[in-house]
Amino acid sequence: MTATAVLTLNLNILFWSSHPSPSFGANNYIPFHEPSFIIMTIQEHIPLAAYTTFNIGGPARFFCIAASEADILEAVTFAREKDLPMFILGGGSNLLIGDEGFGGLVIKMELMGIEEKIEEGNNGKRMLSVGAGEQWDSFVDYAVERGLYGIENLSAIPGTVGAAPVQNIGAYGAEASQVITSVRAFDTRTRQFVDLAGPECHFSYRESVFKKEKGRYIITRVYFSLDPNGTPNTTYKDIVDYFSQKKITQPTLKDVREAVIAIRWGKLPDWKLWGTAGSFFKNPVVTAEAFDSLKKRYPELPGFPEPDGRVKVSLGWILDKVCNAKGLCKGNACVYEKQALVLVTKPGATSEEVVALAHELMASVKEKTGITIEGEVEWVN
């Protein structure tokens, strides 16, 4: 069943849709391929499970695909007129949708395009402007193929570019925030497109302003600064082990991408065989005193100092070695056998089963270590 959104264009919409093509990197940049007045289709009662890597979730009351900033404005106007909550869907790889679905408007982000230019006076560094709907790993591949350093350690992470700043994706010693220079987004509070510079994004471990002020911003493009003269970042233990096993002493950019892909495939479930959203919880960050006291009980517990003096603790280790959670199941939702921070689902799993398993793990960690853990995956219902 479909319904076509009634367009009530206000002056703001007209301004943005008729804006001339941009000068790249300028604050008011609008992608040159922006289509203007194409009436967007808004569908109803669309099942969402297939849009998530967990393969779980009921239907969206309303659903549309946004391929331009004009589409975003149209969708926002539709939601406002009907007083609906909105949810922005990227690759669905960090998402658990409730069995009842979502009673508002789901906007599937499909703004595309990668544009590249040399940064003036910055040692040949490249500025890349990337549409929020681009697949993250295709972008990493693009960068590595062009010899650009900065995101190779983030290879093979599922999801879209627009989701990368939201939770400041990180892996193998790198975080997206290290190379994101700014983020373009629609601010639903002021009803304007804004360009937030890196510091305005308030990035920290798996955190950003986009997560803290949930629902406020709709990200349309992300700007990255990548370095053709960079050096490989190979300090993470798994990467060190990989290259020493392969006897590679001077890894190239492509070697690093290959290493990360191989390591991820070895540890994380095959998305085609299992429903999963990767790490289900965040690694907790505790005070130095709390870490010392945990270390007395669990001398092997891995911990990584944070810039503020606290310590990030490996929850996978706690779930595995302290809670003995590997392989634990609630119905069709299980703790992955090879990595206890990861939950996986079998066909037929429900959101309720995943939530029940998550609550059991949270209670077990609390009881055994006193730590309150938080989800890394976004729960939507």
The residue ranges that bind ligand EPU (CB under 6 A) are 171-172, 238, 267-268, 278-279, 282-283, 302, 314, 316-317, 320-321, 339-341, 376
Instruction: Tell me the closest approach of the beta carbon of residue 267 to ligand EPU, in angstroms.
Output: 6
CB of 265 to ligand EPU, least distance (A): 12
Q: Is 279 a catalytic residue?
A: yes
Which of 206, 208, 258, 353 is labelled catalytic?
206
Q: Please report which residue ranges of the chain form alpha helices under DSSP H.
A: 11-17, 69-82, 136-145, 209-212, 237-246, 253-267, 288-297, 315-317, 351-369
Tally of CB atoms within 10 A around 77: 19
Name the residue nearer to ligand EPU (CB basis): 64 or 179. Answer: 179
Query: Smallest gap, in angstroms, from Cβ of residue 127 to ligand EPU?
Result: 26
- Write phi, then psi, for 116 (nearest 5 degrees): -135, 140
Residue 192 CB partners (closer than 8 Å, separation 6+): 12, 186
CB nearer to ligand EPU: pick between 66 and 315: 315
Read off the tokens for 362: 């949270």
Q: Which CB atom, from 327 or from 370, has the smaller least distance to ligand EPU?
A: 327
CA–CA separation, 376 and 101 (whole Å):
20
Least distance in Å: CB of 314 to ligand EPU? 4
> Tokens 């230019």, residue?
117
Identify whether 80 is a catalytic site residue: no
Return the number of the residue (221 or 282) whose C-beta is nearest ligand EPU: 282
Q: Work out how close the CB of 324 gets to ligand EPU at its nearest, in angstroms, rounded to a whole number.
A: 10
**b (16+ CB within 10 A) / e for 138-156:** ebbbbbbeeebbbbbbbbb
Amino acid identity of residue 309, one-letter, is: G
Which of 172/193 has CB closer to ligand EPU? 172
Catalytic residue among 68, 279, 314, 364: 279
Examine the residue annotation and report whether 146 is marked as an active-site residue of this protein.
Answer: no
Tell me the catalytic residues. Answer: 206, 279, 376
